[in-house]
């Protein structure tokens, strides 16, 4: 009746997951209780859960990502401390548990931490920067978010019902087959990632269409902000490679559930095929993460240097180059699988060639600062920290692209240090820079600068103290994923690395304090004009936070850096451009189909994991019914009357006029 | 030029698509890029273009997914583990029937869309129904094939080759089944709501999907069945 | 704000120095490093690694310094630096900026090409002495070494004659593993149903360690094995001594060995079935069994077997 599910699935014999689960459940119940007690449900339902506004969805993605980053970081603390204490000792995490911790760490950080954050940025910014009102498919956008949240939910449910995968963040067969992983752990992984992956694929489709087909008048391709180019590239990669992930995970699921033979040891299965398929997805995946990160830096460097991005067309070319070549390098993840020198050479050279695109970008950012007036704000600190960190990480990456070198350090702590170097130094630094930079646009007030700088410094030093020793350990021969260490020589570096994690933890605390302090002091930190940083792209033309329709009248763009031109003209003529002719606006209505679909996706996923077939069927049927009901609605858009549009926009213009007057007073005008 | 009877915006699009460099339209026709087409700098495209474009992108992604299953089939073609190989499982007569049914259904699907363009509800429904029945016949034949194979002990659990055979052919059959459910829904919507704008958009997407499945079947039919029987 | 400036520029310089200093100190006194090889393959691998690093450092260090210098020189409070608010293109700089990575990668590409062919694990090592054949099977969670020429086998213990190339034929009897002896060089996958080849050599007597470099389950952390390279005469003596005592590795003993076990102490077999490796690598003998399947008393949660030894 309930498949494999029994009461014994709850890990009462394992204190750490049990206590964690109890605490998490209490916190969740507490939050739900608070919302209920304060009567906030109508607001939450109307303004957030059923919202199809890209800004709201973007914020929810970022909130999910930040929450899961913290969970992933907790796993990281456990891993570093276990490795520090389990040297010729057992440590406090037995293998069964430790193996789940590192698998969960990687899975959560990539799929539910970094991806939602990156997609959250793409969501929030792209329509604003393109000068349009929303993405191509707003309701599909909501579905995408809720499916991602559904996947995150399933991963966290594994903490207290059953267990998580013990295979690492990519479930390589034969270890991940039913023979060697008979528990439900791999199944939790498969369905959580599969469901989230479908959400991401739909995001990719959404943004390819948005960037290619929905730009404001006058915004030709070569007038788009760099972040939109990187959104386009990342979305093209998503569309090209997420289906590979879907297919591969489906194949593994068929093997596990029905005893098929895609990747089994016996009967003609081919585990090497899994390696190829999963990395054909896996390598482009990291470029999905890093390209928008590069886009964020391409927005921050010009703004805080007070001049345009250097070599815009070069940057576009480099971005598209990286986009294409990223799909041709996957074999470098298994040079040691014995494909032979010809194959290894091709993929090694292709992998190094990507460094050309990245190198060009780094130099272009440097030359953006040349002749500028560089302001060392929090986003700029993260950006400079990125240059230092990412360039070194990229260097170790090219080192790993040389097969004979890889033969020494494949799967070692050197590799672990490298990919953290580029993901933390590249993606995470970008995300924190971007969060600080665009927070005022999202919420109407800036983040506290002092705590922001403290968070940066602790993160920067914490990162290097944690990961530099891992490079050394890799050279000393230490492989990854060891639950305990039998070699005394590795002790000093493991201690240093564990200390580093403590420094990182202080940085995380600083971030949380920064958020709390900023909320408390929000009136002092208020962004009154909508343009707190002297920005150059269209999102800074809106008030903070932006109205739900983004722009009262779609802007008419005449060159690169659309908003900079508008601003300069206003300053030169000492007045705003004349009031436009307002017209009524049609905006898409909210929809609960996303939440509803995700709910039944979670139910179906849970049912498939535990082999509760009737429940799985029911879940699928309910999801289909939901689509049909959604397809039956008669009202798709709501009408915003011209008076409303005019009222909101006139408030914006008043704030801008006051800003202009202040600039004139300060003598900032020519 | 405007004798196709299509709306002016669509007509303009058609001209742009046919002759992107305006070689044949120097003397007359719109010189400026067509508004609402989303080309260059004329502002966001209209909904019909956006929906169609997005669905094309989705189709490309679906083809990538199918290509993974094709790749697995290519890799595991000889992994028969001492069991039945391609020649033991291919029954060309049934496959010919399946192919005929599917190809014909693509034709009737196209006819139904022509009827939609002419805003003719009756013929839209008739051709959609025939399309659906042909699709049902296809799925029925395929199920029959699987059941008959299973009764001979030829199941995907037997070998890597059979796994990838059933996986690829089964994935396509699953897509056709889902498309059939979509078809039924569309018929109901057309019946109850008529040719509203969003219904037309969905019919465009449905048509694209059905034709794409047909193209994938051509691939399967060639690589799995024809090459399997001859190899 | 002078403080902020100082912290930015010097803070990062300090971090960089600290990072490299850490690396250097870590390696300086270290005996078990891949940069301290004991054989020709390891030496070549290490040389390539160092060469590639130096080539790239020659670019990376100036780039980082340039970035910091640029940020400092053109900081907002430095009114002496010229402000070029509209400057965003220079063909000359673009040409240099594209050329630097391209040239660097051309060097690296050359290293890749030459190195991959020279250090192909399947390639036999040049030598006057005939190679020693060792057949390697990775199990859950220990390594089995079969010496077909000597007719003996060991578990978690590898003894090789110094100065003689060793040809490893590697397979797995359960899941993927990677056979790796850091100070002898190149690693390669151990895969069920496949035979990987690896040619290594220890130039002098030494005690080394080997491990699996691919996570394979609960007992993975103990999949280390002791490696001893000894003088050829000592090797012959050792093989003789193994012949004299210990069990025989026949199909029955192998079936027992293939059961999951962790933290296995090294031991040896005095005789081994000559067809055993072939049978394992062609899957005529089925791969080892997995852990206890999950059952109602711990629903959904697999219980690791072999932990209690």
Question: pLDDT tens digit string along A641-656?
Answer: 999 999 999 999 999 9
Alpha carbon dihedral A54, A60, A62, A67, in 10-degree steps, equals -170
B178 vs A8, more confident: B178
Model ipTM? 0.95
Q: Which helix (H) or strand (E) holds A20?
A: helix A15-37
Give A614-631 as a 3 state SS string.
HHHHHHHHHHHHHHHHHH
Radius of gyration of chain C (CA): 27
Contact A265, B157 (CB under 8 A): no
Which residues of chain B lie closer than 8 angstroms to A201, CB-CB?
Answer: 61
A495-513 pLDDT per residue, tens = 999 999 999 999 999 999 9
Contact A134, A587 (CB under 8 A): yes
Determine, for residues B53 and A212 on separate chains, whether the beta-carbon distance falls below 8 Å: yes
Residue A613 lies in a domain: no
Which residues of chain A lie closer than 8 angstroms to B62, CB-CB?
Answer: 243
Minimal Cβ distance to B61: which of A137, A243, A634: A243
Per-residue pLDDT of chain C (309 residues; tens, 9 = 90+): 444 444 555 556 555 555 555 554 444 333 478 999 999 999 999 999 999 999 999 999 999 999 999 999 999 999 899 999 999 999 999 999 999 999 999 999 999 999 999 999 999 999 888 999 999 999 999 999 999 999 999 999 999 999 999 999 999 999 999 999 999 999 999 999 999 999 999 999 999 999 999 999 999 999 999 999 999 999 999 999 999 999 999 999 999 999 999 999 999 999 999 999 999 999 999 999 988 776 777 788 877 655 433
- Domains for chain B: give ranges and CATH numbers: 1-45 (no CATH), 47-230 (1.20.120.80)
**Three-class SS state of A294:** helix
The overall average pLDDT reported for chain A is 95
Determine, for residues C290 and A475 on separate chains, whether the beta-carbon distance falls below 8 Å: no
pLDDT computed for residue C299 by the predictor? 81
Cα–Cα distance, A424 to A430 (Å, whole number):
9
Residue A3 lies in a domain: no
A205 touches chain B (CB under 8 A): yes
Q: Which domain holds residue A648?
A: 40-591+633-665
A562 touches chain B (CB under 8 A): no
Q: Which residues of A are catalytic?
A: 61, 71, 75, 79, 102, 123, 134, 141, 144, 148, 200, 203, 210, 283, 285, 287, 298, 314, 358, 361, 418-420
Residue A627 lies in a domain: no
Cα–Cα distance, A47 to A29 (Å, whole number):
21
Helices A429-443 + A115-130 axis angle, to 10? 50
Residue A600 lies in a domain: no
Minimal CA separation from A270 to chain B, in Å: 8
Residue A393 per-residue DSSP state: H
Residue A391 lies in a domain: yes
Contacts of A232 (CB under 8 A, 6+ apart): A207, A208, A211, A212
Report the phi/psi class of residue A157: left, alpha or beta, with left for phi > 0 and alpha for psi in -120 to 50: alpha
- What subunits touch chain A, counting only 3 or more CB pairs under 8 A? B, C
B133 exposure class (CB count in 10 Å sphere: 0-12, 13-18, 19+): middle
Which residues of chain C lie closer than 8 angstroms to A9, CB-CB?
Answer: 298-301
Helices A271-305 + B47-75 axis angle, to 10? 140
Determine, for residues A266 and C287 on separate chains, whether the beta-carbon distance falls below 8 Å: yes
A159 vs B12, more confident: A159
Which residues of chain B lie closer than 8 angstroms to A259, CB-CB?
Answer: 157
pLDDT computed for residue B2 by the predictor? 44
**Three-class SS state of A23:** helix
C292 touches chain A (CB under 8 A): yes
Cα–Cα distance, A93 to C146 (Å, whole number):
35
Residue C82 per-residue DSSP state: -
Which residues of chain C lie closer than 8 angstroms to A7, CB-CB?
Answer: 299
**Three-class SS state of A369:** helix
Determine, for residues A392 and C90 on separate chains, whether the beta-carbon distance falls below 8 Å: no
Which residues of chain A from 595 to 654 reach within 8 Å of chain C, CB to CB?
A: 609-610
pLDDT computed for residue C302 by the predictor? 79
CB neighbourhood size of B215 (10 A): 12
Cα–Cα distance, A450 to A456 (Å, whole number):
10
**Three-class SS state of A412:** strand
Cα–Cα distance, C172 to A564 (Å, whole number):
63
Determine, for residues A212 and B38 on separate chains, whether the beta-carbon distance falls below 8 Å: yes
Residue A367 lies in a domain: yes
Contact A368, C78 (CB under 8 A): no
Checking if the pLDDT of B132 tops 60, the result is yes
pLDDT computed for residue B17 by the predictor? 62
A571 touches chain C (CB under 8 A): no
pLDDT computed for residue C5 by the predictor? 47
Minimal CA separation from A244 to chain B, in Å: 6
B74 touches chain A (CB under 8 A): no
C-alpha closest to that of A419 among A593, A236, A222, A282? A282
A23-43 pLDDT per residue, tens = 999 999 999 999 999 999 999
For the residues of chain B, what is the DSSP string, one character each? --TT---HHHHHHHHHHH-TT-SS-SSSS--SPPTTTT-TTB-SPPHHHHHHHHHHHHHHHHHHHHHHHHHHHHHTTT--TTS--HHHH--HHHHHHHHHHHHHHHHHHHHHHHHHHTT-HHHHHHHHHHHHHHHHHHHHHHHHHHHHHHHTT--TTS-HHHHHHHHHHHHHHHHHHHHHHHHHHHHHHHHHH-S-HHHHHHHHHHHHHHHHHHHHHHHHIIIIIIHHHH-
pLDDT computed for residue B22 by the predictor? 52
Which residues of chain C lie closer than 8 angstroms to A162, CB-CB?
Answer: 299-301
Cα–Cα distance, B164 to C133 (Å, whole number):
38
Two tokens, residue C194: 């496949």
- What subunits touch chain C, counting only 3 or more CB pairs under 8 A? A
Determine, for residues B79 and A261 on separate chains, whether the beta-carbon distance falls below 8 Å: yes
Cα–Cα distance, C19 to C5 (Å, whole number):
21
| pTM, to two decimals | 0.93
Interface test with A, best of C45, C88, C179 (most A CBs within 10 A): C88
| Number of domains making up chain A | 1
pLDDT computed for residue C7 by the predictor? 52
Cα–Cα distance, C267 to C247 (Å, whole number):
10
- Domains for chain C: give ranges and CATH numbers: 2-118 (1.10.287.90), 132-286 (2.60.40.420)
Specify the CATH number for the domain of residue A515.
1.20.210.10
Contact A646, A548 (CB under 8 A): no
Minimal CA separation from B44 to chain A, in Å: 4
pLDDT computed for residue C159 by the predictor? 97
- CA angle, residues C230, C234, C237, in degrees to nearest 5: 140
Residue A172 lies in a domain: yes
Residue C37 per-residue DSSP state: -
Average pLDDT of span A451-467: 98
Determine, for residues A477 and C113 on separate chains, whether the beta-carbon distance falls below 8 Å: no
Q: Which of B1-5, B99-103, C200-204 has the lowest mean pLDDT?
A: B1-5
Interface test with A, best of C301, C305, C307, C309 (most A CBs within 10 A): C301
Residue A628 lies in a domain: no
Percent of chain A whose pLDDT exceeds 70 = 99
- Report the half-sphere exposure of A384 (CA within 13 A, side-chain side): 31
Cα–Cα distance, A653 to C81 (Å, whole number):
36
pLDDT computed for residue C26 by the predictor? 42
A154 touches chain C (CB under 8 A): no
**Three-class SS state of A203:** helix
C-alpha closest to that of A176 among A190, A162, A193? A190
A517-555 pLDDT per residue, tens = 999 999 999 999 899 999 999 999 999 999 999 999 999
A185-212 pLDDT per residue, tens = 999 999 999 999 999 999 999 999 999 9
A245 exposure class (CB count in 10 Å sphere: 0-12, 13-18, 19+): buried
- Closest residue of chain C to A344, computed from CA coordinates: C116
Contact C228, C202 (CB under 8 A): no
Average pLDDT of span B110-139: 96
């Amino acid at each position: 009746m309930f498949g494999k599910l029994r009461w014994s699935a709850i890990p009462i014999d394992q204190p750490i997951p049990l206590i964690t689960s109890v605490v998490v459940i209490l916190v969740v119940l507490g939050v739900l209780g608070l919302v209920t007690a304060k009567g906030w449900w109508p607001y939450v339902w109307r303004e957030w859960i059923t919202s199809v506004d890209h800004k709201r969805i973007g914020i929810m993605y970022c909130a999910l990502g930040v929450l899961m980053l913290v969970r992933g970081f907790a796993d990281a603390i456990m891993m570093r401390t276990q490795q520090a204490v389990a040297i010729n000792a057992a440590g406090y995490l037995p293998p069964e548990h430790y193996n789940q911790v590192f698998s969960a760490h990687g899975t959560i950080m990539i799929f539910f931490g970094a991806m939602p954050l990156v997609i959250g940025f793409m969501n929030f910014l792209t329509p604003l920067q393109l000068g349009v009102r929303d993405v191509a498919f707003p309701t599909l956008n909501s579905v995408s978010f809720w499916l991602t949240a559904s996947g995150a939910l399933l991963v966290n449910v594994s903490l207290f019902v059953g267990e998580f995968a013990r295979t690492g963040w990519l479930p390589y067969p034969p270890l991940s087959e039913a023979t060697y992983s008979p528990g439900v752990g791999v199944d939790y992984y498969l369905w959580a990632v599969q469901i989230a992956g479908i959400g991401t694929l739909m995001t990719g489709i959404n943004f390819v269409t948005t960037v290619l087909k929905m730009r404001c008048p006058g915004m030709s391709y070569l007038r788009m902000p760099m972040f939109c180019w990187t959104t386009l590239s990342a979305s093209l990669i998503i569309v090209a490679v997420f289906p590979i992930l879907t297919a591969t995970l489906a194949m593994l699921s068929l093997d596990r559930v029905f005893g098929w033979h895609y990747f089994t040891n016996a009967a003609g299965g081919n585990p090497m095929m899994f390696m190829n398929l999963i990395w054909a997805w896996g390598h482009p995946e990291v470029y999905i993460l890093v390209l928008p990160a590069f886009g964020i830096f391409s927005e921050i460097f010009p703004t805080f240097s007070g001049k345009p991005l250097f070599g815009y067309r070069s940057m576009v070319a480099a971005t598209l180059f990286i986009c294409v070549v990223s799909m041709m390098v996957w074999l470098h993840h298994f040079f040691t699988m014995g494909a032979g020198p010809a194959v290894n050479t091709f993929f090694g050279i292709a992998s190094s060639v990507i460094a050309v695109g990245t190198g060009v970008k780094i130099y272009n950012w440097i030359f953006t600062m040349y002749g500028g007036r560089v302001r060392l704000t929090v986003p700029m600190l993260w950006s400079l920290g990125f240059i230092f960190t990412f360039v070194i990480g990229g260097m170790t990456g090219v080192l790993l692209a040389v097969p004979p070198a890889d033969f020494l350090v494949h799967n070692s702590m050197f590799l672990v240090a490298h990919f953290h170097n580029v993901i933390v130094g590249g993606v995470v630094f970008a995300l924190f820079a971007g969060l600080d930079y665009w927070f005022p646009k999202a919420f109407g007030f800036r983040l506290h600068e002092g705590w922001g700088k403290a968070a940066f410094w602790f993160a920067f030093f914490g990162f290097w103290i944690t990961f530099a020793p891992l490079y050394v350990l890799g050279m000393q021969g230490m492989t990854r994923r060891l639950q305990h260490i039998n070699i005394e020589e590795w002790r000093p570096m493991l201690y240093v690395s564990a200390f580093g994690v403590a420094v990182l933890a202080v940085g995380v605390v600083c971030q949380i304090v920064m958020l709390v302090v900023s909320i408390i002091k929000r009136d002092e930190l208020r962004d009154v004009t909508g343009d707190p940083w002297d920005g150059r792209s269209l999102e800074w033309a809106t008030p903070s936070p932006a109205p739900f329709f983004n722009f009262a009248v779609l802007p008419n763009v005449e060159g690169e850096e659309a908003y900079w031109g508008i601003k300069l003209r206003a300053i030169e003529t000492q007045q705003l451009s004349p009031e436009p002719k307002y017209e009524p606006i049609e905006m898409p209505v909210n929809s609960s189909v996303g939440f509803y679909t995700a709910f039944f996706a979670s139910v179906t996923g849970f049912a498939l994991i535990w082999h509760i077939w009737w429940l799985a069927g029911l879940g699928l049927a309910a999801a289909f019914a939901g689509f049909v009901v959604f397809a039956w609605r008669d009202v798709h858009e709501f009408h915003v009357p011209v008076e409303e549009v005019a009222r909101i926009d006139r408030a914006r213009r008043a704030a801008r006029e006051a800003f202009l007057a202040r600039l004139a007073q300060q003598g900032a005008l020519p | 030029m405007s004798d196709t009877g299509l709306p002016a915006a669509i007509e303009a699009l058609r001209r742009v698509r046919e002759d992107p460099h305006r070689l044949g339209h120097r003397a007359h026709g719109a010189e400026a890029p067509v508004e609402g087409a989303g080309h260059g700098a004329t502002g966001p495209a209209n909904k019909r273009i956006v929906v169609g474009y997005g669905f094309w992108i989705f189709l490309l992604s679906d083809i990538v997914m199918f290509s993974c299953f094709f790749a697995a089939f290519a890799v595991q073609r000889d992994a028969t583990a001492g069991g039945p190989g391609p020649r033991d499982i291919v029954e060309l007569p049934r496959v010919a029937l399946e192919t005929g049914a599917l190809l014909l259904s693509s034709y009737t699907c196209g006819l139904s869309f022509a009827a939609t363009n002419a805003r003719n509800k009756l013929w839209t429904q008739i051709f959609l129904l025939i399309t659906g029945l042909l699709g049902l016949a296809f799925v029925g034949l395929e199920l029959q094939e699987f059941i008959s194979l299973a009764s001979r002990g030829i199941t995907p659990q037997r070998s890597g080759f059979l796994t990838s055979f059933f996986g690829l052919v089964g994935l396509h059959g699953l897509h056709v089944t889902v498309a059939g459910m979509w078809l039924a829904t569309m018929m109901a919507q057309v019946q109850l709501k008529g040719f509203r704008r969003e219904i037309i958009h969905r019919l465009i997407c449905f048509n694209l999907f059905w034709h794409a499945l047909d193209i994938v079947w051509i691939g399967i039919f060639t690589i799995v069945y024809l090459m399997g029987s001859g190899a | 704000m002078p403080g902020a400036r100082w912290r930015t520029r010097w803070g990062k310089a300090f971090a960089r120095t600290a990072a490299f200093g850490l690396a250097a100190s870590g390696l300086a006194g270290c005996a078990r490093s891949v940069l301290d090889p004991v054989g020709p393959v390891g030496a070549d691998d290490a040389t390539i690694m160092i060469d590639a690093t130096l080539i790239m450092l020659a670019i990376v260090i100036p780039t980082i310094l340039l970035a910091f210098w640029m940020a400092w020189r053109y900081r907002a409070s430095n009114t002496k630096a010229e402000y070029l608010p509209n400057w965003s293109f220079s063909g000359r700089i673009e040409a240099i900026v594209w050329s630097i990575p391209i040239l660097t990668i051309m060097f690296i590409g050359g290293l890749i090409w030459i190195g991959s062919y020279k250090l192909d694990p399947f390639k036999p090592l040049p030598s006057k002495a005939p190679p020693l054949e060792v057949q390697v099977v990775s199990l859950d969670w220990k390594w089995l070494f079969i010496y077909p020429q000597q007719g003996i086998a060991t578990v978690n213990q590898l003894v090789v004659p110094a100065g003689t190339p060793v040809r490893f034929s590697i397979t797995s009897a359960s899941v993927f593993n990677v056979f790796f002896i850091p100070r002898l060089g190149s690693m390669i996958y151990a895969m069920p149903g496949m035979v990987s080849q690896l040619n290594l050599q220890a130039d002098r007597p030494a005690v080394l360690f080997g491990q699996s470099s691919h996570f394979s389950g609960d007992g993975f952390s103990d999949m280390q094995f002791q490696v001893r390279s000894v003088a050829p005469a000592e090797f012959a003596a050792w093989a003789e001594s193994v012949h004299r005592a210990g069990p025989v590795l026949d199909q029955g003993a192998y079936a027992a060995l293939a059961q999951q076990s962790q933290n296995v102490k090294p031991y040896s077999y005095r005789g081994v079935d000559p067809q055993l490796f072939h049978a394992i690598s062609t899957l005529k003998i089925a791969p080892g069994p997995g852990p206890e399947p999950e059952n109602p008393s711990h629903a959904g949660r697999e219980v690791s077997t072999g932990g209690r030894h």
